[in-house]
A and B are shown apart, each in its own frame.
Chain A
Amino acid sequence: MEQFAQQLINGLAVGSIYALIALGYTMVYGVLRLINFAHGDLFTYGAYLGMTLLTSLALQDRFGLAVGLAVLALMVMGLVALIGVILERAAYRPLQSSPRLSAVVSALGGSIFLQNALMLIYGARYQVYPDVLPQATVSLFGLPVPVMRIAVVVVSLAMMAVLYLFVQKTRTGTAIRAAAIDQGAARLMGIDVNRVIQVVFVIGPALGGAAGLLVGLYYGQISFTMGWTYGMKAFTAAILGGIGNIPGAMVGGLVLGVVEALGAGYISIAWKDAIAFVVLILILIVRPSGLLGERVAEKV
């Protein structure tokens, strides 16, 4: 029982990171019907930019840990969003009216470009974050749990909640949902779809970048190829929840994380990914459009 609870917490922590990244995939897919393969690399950029800013500006010494990290997070999210917007301009907008396959190939190209640019700038070796987080543990239901592990989950959930409210309650959010249902009709209704796409490429990468920063701060070690592994998992989470569906990405991420941790804990560590993917296949057989369905937005 103790192991079960421990693995559940382990799974939730990993799953909330998957969910944050999955949001970027699902939002872009929702509006553009494009799998943004470069999204995993934007996540990596978040981790690297975070490290550079953390070591060069030392905000945590100037403003205290909490405020310093919040400012750092905003800066990282802003910069990664900027990269996301440039990526959209350079790699996707020129292909808007071409077949969808061209855009996917362009996305893969963008991914290779971003990854290798990072290697040339920072070098191929693993990079390490300075230790700034407290190492304390708290007792949760009688289990020792690192405080930061809970913080990772809480911060991720908070960002997802803000995003959910933004998409559901604001005008821009409504425009995003409208463009996701039917771009042509949205245009006829006077919605600037290109602007919506830009907003999507601000929010998705910003959340991805924030996830990168969280991973860097919490796990300490980052490498220029880390976006691939996380990207694949997050993409899986997006499909699991129903791609194009924002709450689906959150649920998908958490479910994937927990399934992985429990699979590793009770069946076999080596088969962890296989177990996760078998679960994915089973869910897709029963619910072909994912846990929450592809297009809940239409029903709103």
Chain B
Amino acid sequence: MNKKMAVVLALGLVGATARAQETIKIGLMAPLTGAWASEGQEMKRNVDLLAEQLNAKGGLLGKKVEVVTEDDGGDPRTASLAAQRLTTKGVVAVIGTYGSAVTEASQTIFDEAGIIQVANGSTAVRLTEKGLKNFLRTCPRDDEQGRVGAAVVEKSKAKKIAILHDNSAYSKGLADEINGILKGKNANVVFFDALTPKEQDYSAILTKLKAAGPEVVFFTGYYPEAGLLLKQKKQMGWNVPFIGGDAINNPDLVKIAGKEAAEGFQFLSPPVPKDLDTAEAKAYVVAYQKKFNEAPSSIYGVLAGDGFRVVAKAIEGAKSTKAEAVRAYLTGSLKAFPGFTGKIEFNAKGDRVGELYRVYKVARDGSFVMQP
């Protein structure tokens, strides 16, 4: 090798490490493209805004924070590549990602690299049951959602219950959870089946569903399909009440279904910032509105923001960016942190502690109203 080139290379490497020490890098893995791109881009907005706010206040441990974003495309294979790229970029922690199956594909990569991962939308139970020491999540788990969901169904006093999922890891997991609880209480589940997401015409499914004669339908899928189901159910002239899971909390639901068809629909969700009375949450909604000209629409974007905030808090509290120290702070010292989605505390598994879910109902004007 040419001597001059070696010198240049060496200098370059020195320069690179020197620069790396000037900032603390926090990764964000999000579905910026693909079918969940709207959620992913919302995640990026929240994390970027919070990083900006943090840097304006002087950053962390005297250094600026730099967000390194990688696109996982909402796809497990792309996610494992994105995760590998992030591990080579010197990030100390990674926020994300959204879908459970996608997160699962990246979990061990981050764990082996000794990088803290805080998922924001992956609610599948098994993710935190594997004993991975570097994994946490700001969203609740499906078994908790299952319990709350089953309780809402029981409260509706329906005698015949239908459960519909979309075969995704999250949706099927939640549907199984609810079905198990209801069966255990001898409820009459007359319908349990899955639709194919990303289609436009659900009339065949609704026709079959209607023939089963349920008094309430629990749909555990995502908001685009929920919106179409509500709209097409109304076109059929069938007014059975629908209940949904937390993946339906997105204002686009009402846009897709139309206000009339969406009215009265109920879903479960962690509380959105506008329903929290903390000063931080209120100020955040204002700042977000100012920067992006709209209120945060996705709860998962906000949960990604909360992930970023607890990681920042832990780095500051532990006065270190070492994974063990950050993890120890998050699961040990962090108590009742005022998140934008309620108080945040983690148990030893990396799950959030406490009852998070609220029941929301779509009002006549299309807004989501938290039920007491």
Contact = CB atoms under 8 A, between A and B. Distances in A.
Contact of A273 (B34, B196, B228): B196
B256 interface: yes
Task: Give the size range of B's interface with the partner.
Answer: 20 to 34
A225 B224 CA distance: 12
A137 B198 CA distance: 26
Contact of A229 (B34, B198, B211, B258): B198
B180 to A, nearest CB: 18
Nearest to B237: A144
A221 B256 contact: yes
Interface in A236-265: 260-261, 264-265
A198 interface: no
Nearest to A11: B204
B188 interface: no
Interface residues of A, number: 38
Contact of B193 (A116, A223, A270): A270
A220 interface: yes
A3 B211 contact: yes
B33 interface: yes
Interface string B248-278: 0000100110100000000000000000000
Given A125-B38, A126-B256, A128-B256, A265 B224 contact: no
A264 B205 contact: yes
Contact of B198 (A13, A125, A225, A268): A225
Interface string A216-234: 0001110111101100000
B231 A220 contact: yes
Given A215-B200, A264-B205, A269-B208, A126 B195 contact: no
A131 B256 CA distance: 11
Interface string B108-119: 000000000000
Contacts of A221: 200, 224, 227-228, 231, 256
B134 to A, nearest CB: 30
Contacts of A269: 193-195, 204-205, 208
B35 interface: yes
B203 interface: yes
A124 B40 contact: yes
Contacts of B33: 116, 119, 124
Interface in A45-102: none
Contacts of B208: 3, 7, 264-265, 269
Residue among B41, B231, B256 with max Cβ neighbours from chain A (10 Å): B256
B40 A126 contact: no
A118 to B, nearest CB: 11
A270 B34 CA distance: 23
Interface in A156-176: none
A6 interface: yes
B129 interface: no
A10 B204 contact: yes
A207 interface: no
A139 interface: no
Top 9 A-B pairs ranked by shortest CB distance? A124-B37, A270-B194, A219-B200, A125-B38, A261-B204, A264-B204, A124-B38, A10-B203, A269-B193
Given A126-B38, A221-B224, A270-B167, 16 more contacts: A3-B211, A6-B207, A7-B204, A119-B33, A128-B252, A137-B237, A219-B200, A219-B201, A219-B228, A221-B256, A261-B204, A265-B207, A268-B193, A269-B193, A269-B208, A272-B204
